[in-house]
Structure 1
Amino acid sequence: MSRSYYPRICGCYYTQEVNNRLERTYLPQVKLDAHITIFSTASRTVLKQTFVNRSKDKPLGEIRYAFPLFDGVGVVGFKCEVDDRTIYGLVKEKAEARKAYEEAKAKGEKAALLEQLPDMSDVFTTSVSGVPEGSSVLVTITYVQELKHDAEVDGVRLTIPTHIAPRYGSYPGNSIDSSTVNDSNGISITVDISMVEGVPIKKIISPSHPVEVALGSLSTSTIDEDSSMSKASASLALGTTQLEKDFVLQIVAKDIGIPQAILETHPTLSAQRALMTTLVPKFNLKSAKPEIIFIADRSGSMSGNIPTLISALQVFLKSIPVGCMFNICSFGSKHEFLWGKSKLYGQDTLTEASKYINSFGSDFGGTETLNAVKAAVDIRHKGLPTELILLTDGDITAQQQMFDYLNEQTKSGDIRVFPIGIGGGVSSALIEGVARAGRGFAQHVGNKERLDGKMVRMLKGALTPHIKDYQLEVKYEDDTVESVAESLRTRLNFEDLGERNTKKEEARYPLRDKPISLYDPNTKEDKENEDDFMMDLPQLDRPKLMQAPQEIPALFSFNRTSVYLLLSPAASNLKPKSVVLKGTSPQGPLELEIPIQIQEYPDEMIHQLAARKATQELEEGRGWIRNIVTDTGSRVKDKFPAQYEMIQKREAVRLGVEFQVGGKHCSFVAVEANEAEIEEQRKKALEHSINKGNSTGAQDEGNDEWEMVEETRTEESFAPGSEVAVRNKQLV
Structure 2
Amino acid sequence: MKKAGTGSTQTAESGACTEQEGVTWYQQNPALPSIETTRTRGKSDSRLLSAMNPCCGLLTASKHPVPLKGISVDVQVKGFVADVSATLKYKNEEQNPLEAIFIFPMDVGSAVYSFEALVDGKKIVAEIQEKKKAHQTYEDALTEGKEAFLLEEDDSSGDIFSCSVGNLPPGQEAEVMLAFLRELPVEADGAVRFVLPAVLNPRYTPRDEETQSVTASIPRAPKGTLPYTLELSMSLHSPYGISRVASNCSLTPLQYTKDDKTTAQVCLGPGHQFDRDVELLIYNEEVNKPSVFVEGGIPSAKADSLMSETAMMFSFYPCFPETEEPSHCGEFIFLIDCSGSMGSAMFNADNSPTRMDSAKETLLLLLKSLPLGCYFNIFSFGSTYDSFFPESVEYTQQTMDSALEKVKAMSDDLGGTEILAPLKHIYDTAGKPGHPRQLFLFTDGEVGNTKAVITKAAQNANNHRCFGFGIGEGASTALIKGISQAGGGTAEFITGKERMQPKALRSLKASLQPAVKNISLQWTLPPGLEAILVSRLPTAIFRGQRSIVYASLKEKVDEKAQGVVSLEYTYKEEKFRNQLQFPLQTEKTSRATIHRLSAKSLIADLECSHDSYSKEVQKRILETSLQSGVISSLTAYVAVNKDLNQPIQGPLTRRNIPLSAVAYGYSSSFGCGMSMMKKRGKKGRPLMMSCNAVRKVDLEEQIISPPCLDSPLMKLVSLQNADGSWTLSSSLASVFGISETELKAQIPNSGVDPTVWATVLAVIWLLTAGAEQRDEWELLGRKAVAWVKGRAESTLGDCVRAGNALLKASVDAALFG
TM-score normalised by length of structure 1: 0.72
Deviation at residue 571 of structure 1 after TM alignment: 6.3
Correspondence for 1:84 among 114, 121, 129: 121
Equivalent residue in structure 2 for 1:280, among 296, 304, 317: 317
Separation (CA, whole Å) in 2 of partners of 1:280 and 1:167: 35
Q: Residue 320 and residue 560 in structure 1: after superposition, are their counterparts in 2 closer, same or farther (change >3 A)? A: same
| Cα separation, partners in 2 of 1:590 and 1:338, compared to 1, 3 Å | same
Name the residue aligned to 2:234: 192
| Pair 424,595 (structure 1): closer, same or farther in 2 beyond 3 Å | same
Partner of 1:47: 86
Task: Report what 1:3 is aligned to.
Answer: 14
Partner in structure 1 of residue 97 of structure 2: 59
Structure 1 pair 309–481 and aligned structure 2 pair: CA distance change class (3 A): farther
Any idea what the Cα deviations from partners look like across 1:276-320, whole Å, max 9, x if unmatched? 111222221537532211111111121111122123223323333
On the 8 A contact 1:12/1:27 being kept in 2, the answer is no
| Corresponding residue of 1:161 | 197
Whether contact under 8 Å (2:35, 2:217) holds in the other structure is no
Which stretch shows the higher mean deviation, 267-276 or 358-367?
Answer: 267-276
Aligned pairs for 1:466-477 (under 5 A) are 466-477=515-526
Query: Which of 638, 652, 661 is residue 669 of structure 1 equivalent to?
Result: 638
Q: How far 1:573 sits from its partner (Å)? A: 6.9
Distance in 1, Cα, partners of 2:447 & 2:218: 17
Superposition pairs of residues 121-520 of structure 1, within 5 angstroms? 121-151=158-188, 153-169=189-205, 170=209, 171-172=211-212, 177-179=217-219, 181=221, 184-197=226-239, 199-206=240-247, 208-217=248-257, 226-237=258-269, 239-243=271-275, 245-268=276-299, 269=301, 271-286=308-323, 289-304=329-344, 305-379=355-429, 380-410=431-461, 412=462, 414-478=463-527
- Distance in 2 between residues matched to 1:173 and 1:342, nearest whole Å: 34
Q: Conserved in 2, the CA contact under 8 Å of 1:82 and 1:137? A: yes
Structure-2 change in CA distance of 1:233 and 1:399 (3 Å): same
Q: How does 1:457-606 map to 2 (within 5 A)?
A: 457-478=506-527, 545-548=532-535, 550-568=536-554, 570=555, 572=557, 577-597=563-583, 598-603=585-590, 604-606=592-594
Q: Deviation of residue 12 (structure 1)?
A: 9.0
Quote the Cα distance in structure 1 between the aligned partners of 2:322 and 2:115.
47
CA distance in 2, matches of 1:408, 1:141: 35
- Which residue is 1:490 aligned to? none
Aligned to 2:460, what secondary structure does the other structure show?
helix
Q: How many matched pairs?
A: 573
What stretches of structure 2 of length at least 5 have no aligned partner?
A: 1-11, 27-32, 50-63, 345-354, 644-817
Question: What SS is found at the alignment partner of 1:469?
Answer: strand
Q: How far 1:439 moved relative to its partner?
A: 1.3
Task: Summarize deviations over 1:139-160 as a string: whole Å, max 9, x none.
Answer: 1110100011222x32221121
In the TM superposition, residue 576 of structure 1 has moved relative to its aligned partner by: 6.0
SS of alignment partner, residue 412 of structure 2:
coil
Say if 1:5 and 1:392 are closer, same or farther in 2 by CA, change over 3 A: farther
Q: Say which of 600, 605, 620 aligns to 1:617.
A: 605
Please give the alpha-carbon distance, in whole angstroms, between the structure 2 residues aligned to 1:12 and 1:5. Answer: 22
The structural deviation recorded for 1:429 is 1.0
CA distance in 1, matches of 2:420, 2:116: 39
Q: What's the Cα RMSD here?
A: 3.1
Distance 1:663 1:316, change over 3 A: same
Aligned match for 2:624, one of 623, 638, 655: 655
SS, match of residue 459 in structure 2: helix
Relative to 1, partners in 2 of residues 1:100 and 1:179: Cα closer, same or farther, differing over 3 Å? closer
Cα gap change, 1:348 to 1:215, in 2 (>3 Å): farther
Q: Structure 1 residues 175, 313: closer, same or farther in 2, change over 3 A?
A: closer
Q: Please say if residues 194 and 231 of structure 1, whose CA atoms lie closer than 8 Å, have aligned partners that are also in contact.
A: yes
CA offset digits 1:369-410 (Å, max 9, x no partner): 111222233443243211101000111111111122111111
Q: Tell me the CA shift for residue 673 of structure 1.
A: 6.9
Q: 1:377 to 1:59 in 2, by over 3 A?
A: closer
Correspondence for 2:71: 32
Amino acid at match of 1:612: K
Distance 1:180 1:209, change over 3 A: closer
Helix, strand or coil at the partner of 1:453:
helix
Contact 2:443-2:469 within 8 A present in 1 as well: yes
Q: Please say which structure displays the higher CA radius of gyration.
A: 2
Q: Determine the C-alpha separation between the residues in 1 that align with 2:177 and 2:517.
A: 43
- CA contact under 8 A between 2:230 and 2:274: conserved in structure 1? no
Say if 1:619 and 1:275 are closer, same or farther in 2 by CA, change over 3 A.
same
> 1:701 corresponds to which residue?
none
SS at 1:655 equivalent? helix
Q: Is the 8 A contact 2:243 2:284 kept in 1?
A: yes
CA distance in 2, matches of 1:307, 1:448: 13
Cα pair 2:226 2:273 within 8 Å, conserved: no
Work out which of the residue numbers 106, 123, 141 in structure 2 matches 1:69: 106
Change beyond 3 A, Cα 1:156–1:311: farther
Decide whether aligned partners of structure 1 residues 251 and 432 sit closer, same or farther in structure 2, where only a CA change above 3 A counts: same
**Identity over aligned pairs, percent:** 25
1:654 is displaced (CA, Å) by: 0.7
Deviations 1:494-551 (A, max 9, x none): xxxxxxxxxxxxxxxxxxxxxxxxxxxxxxxxxxxxxxxxxxxxxxxxxx61421x24
Q: 1:176 to 1:443 in 2, by over 3 A?
A: closer
SS at 1:356 equivalent: helix
CA distance in 2, matches of 1:239, 1:228: 32
CA distance in 2, matches of 1:408, 1:596: 37
Distance change in 2, residues 1:358/1:481 (3 Å): farther
Q: Which amino acid letter does the alignment assign opposite residue 451 of structure 2? A: Q
Question: Relative to structure 1, is the Cα distance of residues 189 and 357 closer, same or farther in structure 2, using a 3 angstrom cutoff?
Answer: farther
1:646 equivalent among 615, 640, 660 = 615
5+ residue gaps in structure 1?
218-225, 483-543, 627-636, 638-643, 675-732
Task: Give the corresponding residue for 2:740.
Answer: none
Deviations for 1:610-664, whole angstroms, at most 9, x for unmatched residues?
Answer: 1011112212225xxx7xxxxxxxxxx9xxxxxx612111111111111111111
Contact 2:124–2:641 (CA<8 Å) still a contact in 1? yes
- Report the secondary structure of 1:377's partner residue: helix
CA distance in 2 between partners of 1:458 and 1:215 (Å): 36
Q: Residues 92 and 79 of structure 1: is their aligned pair in 2 closer, same or farther, counting only changes over 3 Å? A: same
| Partner Cα distance (1:393, 1:315) in 2 | 20
Change in 2 beyond 3 A, CA 1:447/1:355: farther
CA displacement at 1:176 relative to structure 2:
5.1
Distance 1:314 1:366, change over 3 A: same
Note if 1:15 corresponds to 2:38: yes
Q: Distance in 1 between matches of 2:626 and 2:167?
A: 26
Q: Is the 8 A contact 2:471 2:495 kept in 1?
A: yes
TM-score, normalization: structure 2?
A: 0.65
Q: In the superposition, relative to structure 1, how do residues 368 and 23 fare at CA in structure 2: closer, same or farther (>3 Å)? A: closer
Name the amino acid aligned to 1:421: G
> Is the contact made by 2:200 and 2:215 (CA closer than 8 Å) also made in structure 1?
no
- Greater shift in the superposed pair: 208-217 or 295-304: 208-217
Amino acid at match of 1:188: L
Cα distance in 2 for partners of 1:321, 1:571 equals 54
Q: Quick one: structure 1 residues 393 and 456, their matched pair in 2 at CA, closer, same or farther if it must change by over 3 Å?
A: same
